[in-house]
Amino acid sequence: MSNPCIICVAITGSLPQKSDNPAVPVSIEEQVESTQAAHEAGASIVHAHVRNPDGTPSSDPERFARLLEGLRKHCPEILVQFSTGGRSGAGHERGGMLRLKPDMASLSVGSNNFPTRVYENPPQLVDWLAAEMDAHGVRPEIEAFDLSHILMAHRMWQDGRLRDRPYVQFVMGVQNAMPADREVFDYYVRTMHRLFGTDAPWCAAGIGRHQIKLNDWAIRAGGHVRTGLEDNVRLDRHTLAPSNAALVAKAATLCQRYERPVATPYQTRAILGLHQPVVA
Ligand SMILES: [Zn+2]
């Protein structure tokens, strides 16, 4: 049975700089160009942050609006997912761009440690972000940095704070948070099946050198994947990734190995229960 695999490309993030890898797209123009190439390589979702001209993270809705406009113009099919992560702003600033109605947005539902600080997601802010997404018709992607976040997503779905069955992404390999541990990964998958049904779509992301490993585990286990320079700037131990597209191509090769077609944007919308765009 064909089970298409969604490839999400996290093009920029808030941390990697051009000094880490010159291919990291920072300006809106670079981000649009990088997305186009990644889309051609197989990505059907782009996960995006925006930056200030000096490379520092920004949460300016105006920048997000320009990015969305560029993506809709040059890459109209791809699903756009904005980050509401905590590195680019504080409090309600983190959701200021949701009114632009991207297709999706990332939603963290609990707190955990990051390499040098606490990743704070207080309950009131989580509820506010979820409500904003709901109000603007934005499909949340739940970022599970920990097992408790999967259970929290379930609770929020049960009590109606999340309208649709949650699409959960396991994030593994963040320093000081959940490591890329195979037993835990398998338990995450079982927990998804138990709480949300065996047909519930889920996705996984590995940070740094764990990226390709998590791609492999997820594709093999029937899940979906995230790749991109936000999480990992290397193609392998010795080589910098020349582009986001190169990392997407690597994930696409794994799909081939496990006989899973790479999901088109149309299939991605169907898998996630999103409306198909109206063709003019
Ligand atoms: Zn991100």
pLDDT tens column, 176-217:
999 999 999 999 999 999 999 999 999 999 999 999 999 999
The CA 1 to ligand 1 mean position distance, Å, reads 32
Distance 70 CA to ligand 1 centre (A): 19
Query: In angstroms, rounded to a whole number, what is the distance separating the alpha carbons of residues 61 and 65?
Result: 6
pLDDT of amino acid 87: 73
CA of 191 to the centre of ligand 1 (A): 24
Residue 87 Cα to ligand 1 midpoint, Å, equals: 9
The predicted pLDDT at position 277 comes to 82
Answer whether 0.75 is exceeded by the pTM: yes
pLDDT score at 88: 64
pLDDT, position 36: 98
Whole-number Å distance, alpha carbon 80 to ligand 1 midpoint, is 12
DSSP lists the bridge partners of residue 142 as 107, 168
CA of 280 to the centre of ligand 1 (A): 32
Q: What is the mean pLDDT of the chain?
A: 96
Determine the 3-state secondary structure of 121 from DSSP.
Answer: coil
Q: Are 101 and 132 in contact (CB under 8 A)?
A: no
Q: How far is the centre of ligand 1, averaged over its atoms, from the C-alpha of 55 (Å)?
A: 15
CA 277 to ligand 1 center in whole angstroms: 25
Distance 221 CA to ligand 1 centre (A): 23
84: helix, strand or coil: coil
Ligand 1 centroid to 10 CA: how many Å?
6
Whole-number Å distance, alpha carbon 83 to ligand 1 midpoint, is 5
Residues comprising the chain, all counted: 280
Q: Give the residues of the chain that fall short of pLDDT 50.
A: 1
Ligand 1 center–CA 14 separation, angstroms: 7
pLDDT at 280: 56
Sequence-ordered list of residues with C-beta below 8 angstroms from that of 25, at least 6 positions apart, any chain? 11, 12, 31, 33, 34, 35, 229, 244
* Cα 185 from Cα 183, distance rounded (Å): 5
